[in-house]
Amino acid sequence: MTTRRSFIRQMSVSALSLSVLPSIAWAFPDAPVLRVAIMGLGSYGTRVAEAMRACTRARLVGVISGTPTKVRVWQERYGIPAKNCYDYGNYDQIKNNRDIDAVYVITPNALHHDAVIRVAKAGKHVICEKPMAVNARQGQEMVDACKAAGVQLLVGYRMHFEPHTLEVIRMRKEGAFGPIRFFQGLSGFIIGDPTQWRLNPALSGGGAMMDIGIYSINGSRYMTGEEPVWVTAQETKTDPVKFIKGIDETIQFQLGFPSGAVASCLSTYNANNLDRFFLDGAQGFAELLPATGYGPIQGRTHLGELQAPIVTHQTVQMDEMAQILLEGKQPVVPVDGREAVKDLTIIDAIYKAARTGQRVDLQA
């Protein structure tokens, strides 16, 4: 059975502190703190802000929003000074603000591209929520813009820091499962309000695949430790009124890997209780159920239940990203823009395969 000791080998002190030593910040009084402004003050932006209250290496210091009433509420709730508040018309001026190190872009998907490039040109590091863009071409433009500006681009892959996930990756790397043969990723829920931005292709860039299917795409890569070389896909749409053109309801997709391992995945906005990863090897297996929700994540392997700390994902993510941006720490699984472009390339291929009915080969 996997143990807490084996997990600790993979986690940094800051991540572990959130579950066992929440006041450990006193032990590192001189450690630099990443000062973050959040762009987009919706439900997920609020979740990140609340999680950052427990951070030891990252601090919320600014906001960017097109809604003045939200800005005022956040100022009062989080003690944000007026000089660190911007709207969508003037946030280029952030370049003159020495009190902000990075901007976390948490806006609808189709707005990420322009926002990230503007922030980069203002000389600030960028954290962008996933999917980083609506296609691989846009994603690469964002990566190139950040490189040209001399700033770093990270993406909100919170699962890359999640303890159960990291324990499965550690076991796979150490050969506990033997050669990997199969991965299954199930990602879906029944979406509600038909007027929300996620069902507007001009804002979302797609449907369930962009929102929830990306978890199975990304998970297939870090669970198997390989990059896919081919894709096939099939789309089903039962409600074309709710899921208009450009918004996928349900897509089943398959991935093939260089070793011969295969993945079978489902992405949907029309079924609940779908949040499961299953990894099968010649000598063992791992299951995460739930696999990507906000928590708690649970898992088991052929050796028994996974014993790993329960953490607030966004707190760990922001503390870890602070160390990446400020100290050059290398995460177990990358969270940079290049990682995101790989996912976007696969999404592009899945949409093409679903549209044409043909297998799409990916460049090695």
Q: Are residues 354 and 232 in the same domain?
A: yes
pTM to 2 decimal places: 0.91
Position 315 in a domain: no
CATH number at residue 263: 3.30.360.10
Query: Which residues constitute the domain of residue 127?
Result: 4-158
Q: Are residues 18 and 150 in the same domain?
A: yes
Number of domains in the chain: 2
Q: Are residues 48 and 141 in the same domain?
A: yes
Q: Are residues 257 and 272 in the same domain?
A: yes
- Respond yes or no: is residue 78 known to be catalytic: no
Q: Are residues 124 and 212 in the same domain?
A: no
Position 137 in a domain: yes
CA trace torsion 266, 267, 272, 277 (10° rounding): 50
SS3 of 251, please?
Answer: strand
Q: Are residues 204 and 342 in the same domain?
A: yes
Of residues 91, 104, 124, 130, which has the active-site annotation?
130
CATH number at residue 99: 3.40.50.720
Q: What are phi and psi of 121, to 5 degrees?
A: -65, -25
Position 103 in a domain: yes
Of residues 91, 157, 215, 351, which has the active-site annotation?
215
State how far the alpha carbon of 217 is from the alpha carbons of 67, 99, 256, 314, in Å. 34, 37, 12, 20
Among 169, 153, 165, 57, residue whose Cα is nearest residue 112: 153
Q: Are residues 83 and 37 in the same domain?
A: yes
Q: What is the pLDDT along the chain (364 residues), one digit of tens a residue?
A: 343 333 333 433 333 333 333 333 344 567 899 999 999 999 999 999 999 999 999 999 999 999 999 999 999 999 999 999 999 999 999 999 999 999 999 999 999 999 999 999 999 999 999 999 999 999 999 999 999 999 999 999 999 999 999 999 999 999 999 999 999 999 999 999 999 999 999 999 999 999 999 999 999 999 999 999 999 999 999 999 999 999 999 999 999 999 999 999 999 999 999 999 999 999 999 999 999 999 899 999 999 999 999 999 999 999 999 999 999 999 999 999 999 999 999 999 999 999 999 999 998 6
Q: Are residues 27 and 133 in the same domain?
A: yes
Q: Are residues 105 and 142 in the same domain?
A: yes
CB atoms within 10 A of CB 361: 12
